[in-house]
């Protein structure tokens, strides 16, 4: 399989790298420490077209597909995991509207979510429906008289939920039908009955806000219905298949950076009269880290290739996410170890990378859920 990049993709990689180094890296530690959403940088992402990856130019998008997302997200993740997560998760909403939206919805929402700099969010998880997403209880009951859906329920752990202008909410339009009664609805910030609850204080990803969203008799016009009635769970699962490749890209990027930082440090750090790079113990660490990271990258690219060539990719998306996220934890842990006491200090990015890497094993589906998905696909 040929994973070499086209000229356009090479240019995107260069642009992503320059933007990451010039704009994201200088504020990465501060954004994390102060738990501040990098507002200015998100606007710049929109101006440069990153927020419109995978969306038609006709609606303000930048075209491209999964590989373009992988390129941008992994470059961002090398310096700022919060920014990588913000972009990766934001893209779920415009891409879902591109795929399932009516012409009217595309014209209304896509320009806002692409060049317009408005953040998108994806609201599936509930306090009692995490891994078991099919047990979500939020309802959206149709009111014939007003031609509106009335939403009631609470979503939690929603990335970007507190700032998003456009949220795709999954709710039961027919609670008697379980997952087949779930539908997807576009809800705009400011809709009466829609409020932001608790904003979480997390171990990592300080710059990417995570919030509770509360719907109390929140009336949404029927025109905001996304896809068909009862199609919501499938829309969510398909969106998650794509999103999981995005998490694979985050994990791949942070691991690549951890390898590079470790090589640099090992060459500079002198102990016992020579650089620690001369010690076989360190060389073996680096050899393992580099090999496993290359393997993670190959699976992420493979999953992106399948997605972009229109082939089934549920299994490979789960495999690449499971593998890259476990590798990100393994590699950032060893990188921190190689840096010793310095790695534990906030002056170095290692401790942040280690904390940020951990979430990739949990969000967009835990490692355990990915094993369920992979086993089902492999053993059918």
| Closer Cβ to ligand COS, 45 or 129, answer by number | 129
Nearest to 156 by CA among 376, 363, 379, 375: 363
Residues 20-49 that bind ligand COS (CB under 6 A): none
Among 23, 118, 356, 364, binds ligand COS (CB under 6 A): 364
| Closer Cβ to ligand COS, 58 or 131, answer by number | 131
Binding track, positions 239-268, relative to ligand COS; x by CB under 6 A: -xx---------------------------
Distance from C-alpha of 119 to C-alpha of 46, rounded to nearest angstrom = 10
Q: Write down the least CB distance from residue 110 to ligand COS, Å.
A: 21
| Closer Cβ to ligand COS, 83 or 125, answer by number | 125
Report how many residues bind ligand COS under the rule CB under 6 A. Answer: 21
Stretch that binds ligand COS, among 77-85, 96-104, 331-339, 358-366 (CB under 6 A): 358-366
Name residue, tokens 């369920």. 372
Residues 90-129 that bind ligand COS (CB under 6 A): 124-125
Distance from C-alpha of 235 to C-alpha of 238, rounded to nearest angstrom = 5
Question: Regarding beta strands 166-172 and 182-188, do their DSSP bridges make them parallel or antiparallel, or are they unpaired?
Answer: antiparallel
Residues 199-238 that bind ligand COS (CB under 6 A): 233-234, 237-238
Q: Do 170 and 184 contact (CB within 8 A), yes or no?
A: yes
Q: Which residues contact 135 (CB under 8 A, 6 or more apart)?
A: 128, 129
Distance from C-alpha of 71 to C-alpha of 103, rounded to nearest angstrom = 29
Q: Write down the least CB distance from residue 373 to ligand COS, Å.
A: 5
Distance from C-alpha of 25 to C-alpha of 15, rounded to nearest angstrom = 14
Q: Do 375 and 369 contact (CB within 8 A), yes or no?
A: no
CB half-sphere exposure, 135, CA atoms < 13 A: 7
Q: Write down the least CB distance from residue 321 to ligand COS, Å.
A: 10
Among 60, 94, 101, 365, binds ligand COS (CB under 6 A): 365
Taking CA atoms, 299 is separated from 1, 43, 96, 296, 323, in Å, by 12, 31, 24, 5, 8
The single residue of 23, 209, 326, 364 carrying the catalytic annotation is 364
Can you read off the two tokens belonging to residue 259? 């390898």
Q: Minimal CB distance to ligand COS: which residue?
A: 365
Distance from C-alpha of 341 to C-alpha of 183, rounded to nearest angstrom = 51
Stretch that binds ligand COS, among 199-207, 295-303, 305-313, 364-372 (CB under 6 A): 364-372
Q: Write down the least CB distance from residue 192 to ligand COS, Å.
A: 26
- CA 21 from centre of chain: 20
| Closer Cβ to ligand COS, 127 or 134, answer by number | 134
**DSSP at 349:** S
Tell me: does residue 369 bind ligand COS (CB under 6 A).
yes
Q: Does residue 364 have an active-site annotation?
A: yes
Residues 124-153 that bind ligand COS (CB under 6 A): 124-125, 131-134
Distance from C-alpha of 72 to C-alpha of 53, rounded to nearest angstrom = 9
Name the site residues for ligand COS (rule: CB under 6 A).
Answer: 124-125, 131-134, 179-180, 233-234, 237-238, 240-241, 314, 363-365, 369, 372-373
Task: List the catalytic residues.
Answer: 364
């Amino acid at each position: 399989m040929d994973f070499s990049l086209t000229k356009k993709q090479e240019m995107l990689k260069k642009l992503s790298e320059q933007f990451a180094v010039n704009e994201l890296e200088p504020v990465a530690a501060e954004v994390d420490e102060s738990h501040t959403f990098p507002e200015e940088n998100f606007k710049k992402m929109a101006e440069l077209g990153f927020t419109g990856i995978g969306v038609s130019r006709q609606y303000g998008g930048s075209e491209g597909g999964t590989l373009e997302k992988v390129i941008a997200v992994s470059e961002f993740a090398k310096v700022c995991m919060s920014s990588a997560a913000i972009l990766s998760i934001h893209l779920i909403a415009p891409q879902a509207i591109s795929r399932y939206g009516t012409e009217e919805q595309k014209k209304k929402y896509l320009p806002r979510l692409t060049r317009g700099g408005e953040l998108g969010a994806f609201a599936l998880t509930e306090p009692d429906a995490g891994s078991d997403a099919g047990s979500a209880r939020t309802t959206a009951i149709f009111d014939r008289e007003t031609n509106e859906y009335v939403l009631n329920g609470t979503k939690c752990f929603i990335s970007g939920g507190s700032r998003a202008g456009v949220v795709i909410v999954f709710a039961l339009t027919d609670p008697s039908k379980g997952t087949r009664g779930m539908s997807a609805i576009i809800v705009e910030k400011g809709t009466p009955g829609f409020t932001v609850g608790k904003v979480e204080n997390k171990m990592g990803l300080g710059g990417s806000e995570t919030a509770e969203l509360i719907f109390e008799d929140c009336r949404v016009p029927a025109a905001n219905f996304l896809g068909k009635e009862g199609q919501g769970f499938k829309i969510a699962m398909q969106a998650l298949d794509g999103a999981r490749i995005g998490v694979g890209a985050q994990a791949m990027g942070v691991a690549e950076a951890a390898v590079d930082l470790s090589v640099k440090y090992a060459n500079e750090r002198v102990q016992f009269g020579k650089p620690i790079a001369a010690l076989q113990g360190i060389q073996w660490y680096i050899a393992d880290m580099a090999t496993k990271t290359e393997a993670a990258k190959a699976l992420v690219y493979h999953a992106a290739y399948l997605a972009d060539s229109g082939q089934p990719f549920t299994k490979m998306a789960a495999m690449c996410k499971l593998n890259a996220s476990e590798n990100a934890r393994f590699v950032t842990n060893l990188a921190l170890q190689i840096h010793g006491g310095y790695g534990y200090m906030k002056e170095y990015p290692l401790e942040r990378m280690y904390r940020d890497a951990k979430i990739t094993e949990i969000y967009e589906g835990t490692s355990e859920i990915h094993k369920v998905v992979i086993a089902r696909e492999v053993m059918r």
